[in-house]
Amino acid sequence: MPLRADAARNRDRVLATARLAVAAGDLSLQLNDIARRAGMGVGTVYRHFPTRRALLEALADDAFTALLDDARVASQQHDAWTGVEILLRALLLRQLADPAFSEVISTRPDLDASERTTAHRDEFGKLARTVLGHARQANAVRPGLTDDDLHHLVCGTVFALRIGDEPSERVERYLQVLLDGIRSAAPTHRKR
């Protein structure tokens, strides 16, 4: 059921206030503080976002939707390695660009506050398995490398990029190291 116009405005104001907090480096998203900053009652904030996690997932939704678009493109590549590159680049860049999304994607699914987030996560997992399955069939990735290994390596790379100044200057270098590390020693580059 769609929100009433005033409720939709309040929800949008809470999200805008939370985005400003995250942009300023405050990912704590204390709902009482968000309400104060938005100039509204705490009850209004809690009606829309009963928990910090619910607010975090709402902030991450656009990035998750964009990642799904990227993953669909990756899954449709004829060259298996190109699909891996597109998928990992998208996952890395989306996490770097959006700290809320980074937290959501790097945590366990049982922490999801909304069915929408779980559905996004499930769809991404399916698309990623397709991409990685094609890469395994083409002998393009190291044998024995699991989907969880790749997820952890990307999250670790995001963490490494956030350490120090100017992560944007290191993104391509770190991504290349990651890709070189997971690539099979003797890929056949067989088309799928």
Q: In whole angstroms, what is the distance from residue 28 CA to residue 137 CA?
A: 43
Q: In whole angstroms, what is the distance from residue 25 CA to residue 71 CA?
A: 28
Contact 85, 71 (CB under 8 A): no
Q: Express each pLDDT in 70-85 by its tens digit.
A: 999 999 999 999 999 9
Residue spans of the domains in the chain: they are 1-50, 59-182
Q: Express each pLDDT in 118-128 by its tens digit.
A: 999 999 999 99
Q: Quote the mean pLDDT of the chain.
A: 92
% of the chain residues with pLDDT over 90:
86
CATH architecture group of domain 59-182: Orthogonal Bundle (1.10)
59-182 has the same fold as 1-50: no
CA 170, 158, 148: angle at the middle one, nearest 5?
A: 135
**Distant-in-sequence contacts of 127-131, Cβ < 8 A, 24+ apart:** 127/68, 127/71, 127/72, 127/74, 127/75, 127/87, 128/71, 128/87, 130/75, 131/71, 131/74, 131/75, 131/77, 131/80, 131/83, 131/84, 131/87
Confidence category of residue 187, pLDDT binned at 50, 70, 90: very low
Q: Express each pLDDT in 5-32 by its tens digit.
A: 888 899 999 999 999 999 999 999 999 9
Both tokens assigned to 144: 């024995």
Contact 86, 132 (CB under 8 A): no
Q: For the domain 1-50, what is the CATH code?
A: 1.10.10
Mean pLDDT along residues 48-52: 96
